Structure formats: structure tokens, C-alpha cells
Homo-oligomer: A and B are copies of this chain.
Amino acid sequence: MSRTLHLNAFLMGVGHHEAAWRHPHTDPSRVGDVRHFQELARIAERGTLDSVFLADGLAVGPAVRHNIQAVFEPLTLLAALATATDHIGLIATVSTTYNEPFNTARKFASLDHLSGGRAGWNIVTSAQSREAWNFNLDEHPAHADRYRRAAEFVDVAIKLWDSWEDDALVLDTAAGVFADTDRVHEVGHAGEAFKVRGPLNTPRPPQGRPLLVQAGSSPDGIAFAARYAEAVFTAQQTLADSQAFYAALRRATTAAGRDPDLVKVLPGIAPVIGGTEAEAQALAAELEALIVPEHALAQLSGMTGIDLSGYPLDGPLPDLPDVTSVQAHQSRYQLVVELARRERLTLRQLIGRLGGGRGHRVVAGTPEQIADQIELWFTEGAADGFNVMPPLLPSGLADFVDHVVPLLRARGLFRHEYTGRTLREHYGLPRPASSYATRELVTA
């Protein structure tokens, strides 16, 4: 196959539907059991998926009353999954706003070493004021300031991963030389937000650098992705929107001087799978009926930054401010407002539509119908693959792997077995050379 579909399993508690934990097919007590996540990773690996991914937020608010709360921090959980799997990539979300680049570069290097080259970093700038309050601040830094810090943060991290050249480890026991310090470099970064001398305190990771993933789709987010990202997670409701995003990202990537084929775009898809279309629709309706409206409205208020609790559920979404004034998650805000207006949804209907994927696309149908949608978007310039968000876990992931993946394989769209060893190899991306590797090696 010339162009290969890429599939990531987005692992979230016992399912992506906000009421998943209330459904009889899940056991919410397993959200704190590492064996649950080991099982999920092994199911994804059975399906030869490229990677698993964990989102993250650095605060908990009143929403925890009605919705499941993650128990594990992504990097520690993925380290535990690394030793329970052999092939699948491991992508962790870490915020550039509330961490230091030295610690972050080092932890991802550690995960990459632990997993034999399977680490990926979903770079986020954090979106809630509630997170700022846990990190000595009274308010969340502005959108543009967060992205400026993020860019410098990633610059520093890349220098640190590169600071040990690949051949710096000598291990010459006879001479007593462990590392060739001529090939271990101070990075001497001094910028607006960070001053970091380096080198990193670990040899270069197996992948050189972890896979860099990004998920913000605002103008700032696209500019950031064009410059740094190797895979992009995005929420897109329609084929046309996703095609427009895909084309815009490729243009921006080219303008940034990078090959757009080396940036893989993965829209979210929440597949509600049934043996028949009616069964799939029944499962979707069953889940929607389990939504707690006051909770969903509070979530929507958080997503839009507007308190919607006073509005009638069966009335329309009220007029909201222009997206450019929003300091939180701009692209998701715009998506929600457009969805409600385009389809003239009441608040109750909007809540139902968002319950399955928080703005990501929900597709209910048979395995064939879901495979058709994946193939359509993949062949029509809307996606290089998908960020798969099963409504129920583990059952929804098992259904996807056992019933949708075989169809994608049969159509020649997806691998039958792993052919690469590292996450970069799964995504068909090169291993970057160290920027410090300037010396010609004259000895063969």
C-alpha cells in the first residue's frame, strides 16, 4: 500500500461518552486499576493500531460530581503500559504552561528508553483558569502568550534531546571511558521564558526525539502545528470542514518550510458500533438517555466560557461573544457554536450531540458503515487516519479492533502486522538527526 491509514486509540476512563461510566457494559471502579489500561493497550495492539493516547488536565472542578475523573497521570501510566506491550506507541499529554522543559524533555526521553522508542508527546498549553490556580497564578495566561511559551519550550526540549549525539555512549571499560564528552553538548539556551544550559541527563532517546503531537486547531494552534507537529489530533464535524482544515494545515506546513507529508492529520471519531444500524442507534440513544443534563450544561459552560445554567434546555444556544475574545480552547468553542447554529439545535439537543465526543465526530453504524466513513475521509483529503474514541471501554475498542479493523485491512488501507519497531516507524516518519551531529565520522 502506498499511503497508509494511521489509527490511534484515545484511552479515557471507561469510555468517551460522558455517561459511559453509568452504562451496564462498563465498570467505573476500573478507572483506578492499571490492569484496565493494560487490557486496553493490549486490545489496541491486537488491532495493530499505531498508538494509544492519554489526554490530561491539571485541575478538577465541580464537574467531578457527575463525571468520571482520571486517576492516573499520563507519563506514569504509559510507563506501566510500556512493559505490558511490545509494539504500540505511547502518547502522553503534557502542558508547556505548567511544566519546565528540562523535566519534560527528560521524562519523555525516559519513556522512550523504557519502551524501546515508542514515546510521543501531545503538546498542550492548557485551557482552564482552574489549572492556573494550582500553579501560583491568579489567572490563566493569554492564548497568544501560552503559544509563545510553548514554542520556546519545544525548542529547548529539542535541543536537550539532541544534546547527546547518537554515538556519545562509548562504554569503553578497558579505558574507563563511559561517554565521549566531545559528543555531549551544553545547549546554552537563553530566551524569553527559559534559561537552560544542558546537556540533558540521559543519553539520546531511541527515536532521537519522541513523536511530537499537537491538538489545538485555532490559528495559533495551526501555526504551532505547522512548525513542530508530526501528528495532529483535531475535532471536525463534517467532511468539508476537515478537508478545509487538512488543506490549511498542509499550506501552513509548506509555508513553514516543512514537508506536509510528514505531518499526519487524525480527526477524532467516536464509533458507536452495532451489528445493524438500528442496534448502533439504540446504543447511542441509550447512552444519551444516561446524560445528567445539569452536568452536561456545566460542561458546555466550561467549553464556551459562558454560564449557561440559567437558559432553558429546550431553547436555543444564546448569542455568544466572538471567538477572538475567547482565551480558552478557541477552536473547540467555534466548532460548538457552528454546530448549534448550522443544525438549529436546542441546548438539550446540543448536549446530546456533544455527549459522545465533546465536540469530536460521533458515527453510529455497522462496522461497514464506519469503515466507509474512515475510507471516505482518508481518500477525500480530509484525514491521514483517525483518533479513535470508543464510547465504552473496553467493549467499544474491542468492537472496533475486531470488526472495523479487519475491513480496513481487507480494503488494503491498514497494516496486517507491525512492520516497524518505533512509534515514528508506525507513522512513517523519519528519525531526526541530532542538530549537534556536525562532525564527519571518518572512521568506518
Chain A interface residues toward B at CB < 8 A: 19, 21-22, 28-29, 32, 34, 38, 57-60, 62, 64-73, 75-77, 79-80, 82-84, 98-100, 102-103, 106-107, 109-111, 113-114, 130, 133-138, 171, 173-174, 176-181, 184, 194-203, 290, 292, 295
Contacts and interface: CB of A to CB of B under 8 A. Distances in A.
Given A76-B76, A196-B136, A60 B201 contact: yes
Contacts of A67: 178
18 contacts: A58-B106, A60-B199, A64-B184, A65-B180, A65-B181, A66-B178, A70-B201, A73-B106, A73-B107, A75-B76, A75-B79, A76-B111, A76-B114, A77-B79, A79-B80, A83-B83, A102-B134, A102-B135
Given A28-B178, A71-B203, A72-B110, 11 more contacts: A22-B174, A28-B171, A60-B199, A66-B176, A70-B202, A76-B110, A76-B111, A80-B114, A83-B83, A133-B195, A134-B197
Contacts of A110: 71-73, 76-77
A353 to B, nearest CB: 19
Contact of A72 (B65, B102, B196, B202): B202
Contacts of A202: 69-73
B134 A177 contact: no
With a 10 A CB-CB cut-off, give which of A22, A64, A100 has the most chain B CB atoms.
Answer: A64
A133 to B, nearest CB: 4
Given A110-B73, A176-B66, A176-B290, A201 B59 contact: yes
Contact of A136 (B38, B111, B134, B194): B194
A179 B65 contact: yes
Nearest to A65: B181
A63 to B, nearest CB: 9
A178 B69 contact: yes
Contacts of A184: 60, 64
Contacts of A113: 32, 34, 71-72
Contacts of A69: 178-179, 201-203
A208 to B, nearest CB: 15
Contacts of A75: 75-76, 79, 107
A29 B176 contact: no
Nearest to A293: B176
A105 to B, nearest CB: 10
A72 B108 CA distance: 10
Nearest to A134: B102
A173 B22 contact: yes
Contact of A58 (B34, B60, B176, B201): B201
Interface centre among A21, A84, A114, A137 (most CB of B within 10 A): A114
Contact of A196 (B21, B134, B196): B134
Given A60-B200, A80-B80, A136 B195 contact: yes
Q: In the complex, which of the residues A84, A113, A184 has the most CB atoms of chain B within 10 Å of its own CB atom?
A: A113
Contacts of A200: 60
A263 B62 CA distance: 38
A148 B10 CA distance: 41
A64 B22 contact: no
